[in-house]
Structure 1
Amino acid sequence: MVIGIIRRGKEILLVRESLGAEGEVLWSLPGGGVEDGELLHEALRREVREETGLLIADPARTAFLVHVDSEQYPSALAAAFEVEQRSGDQCPAAQ
């Protein structure tokens, strides 16, 4: 799983998606799964584009790594990256 941290001044971009145990819509950082054969930075660009409409450059640096162990994602690794360069117009309904 990849996660993007996209800042504008002191603000951080969040997206709303169905993440709760009961399917409730929650706020989260943009990101998602990595497809077979896909590099982490490629997955991050794809996921951010799908969720926000923004085009991003390769991430500037790794922000943090976290091990996820849940029923939906047993023993998964989430990698969060700082994103400094982006273009395009933010679109709330990019999908």
Structure 2
Amino acid sequence: MPPTPGLYIGRDTVVNDWITSGFEGMKGLRAVPTAVNRQPALAFYLWRKQEGAYLPLTIDVLRVTGGLITEIITFHDDRFERLGLPERLPAEGTE
């Protein structure tokens, strides 16, 4: 059941998790601003050379309090269609 399980408290903890899980070295990402339940969100797509397109990866829903991101809830690619997001992005702008 979405969202992705896990609880990371504090900016440093979140950033360290991104680094140790490989996010820092991840290339070929595109983000599309969107909204989920009236909250700001980013839909991330990852470049897949074999398909020649960016394919859905995750959706990060942001809770903003006092101008700061206070919570990020991550959903997997199986939610893109339900939210009306494109199933792929074109190769424009790739290296």
Using the size of structure 1 for normalisation, the TM-score is: 0.25
TM-score normalised to structure 2 length: 0.25
Max Rg structure: 2
Q: Greater relative contact order (Cα 8 A, min sep 6): structure 1 or 2?
A: 1
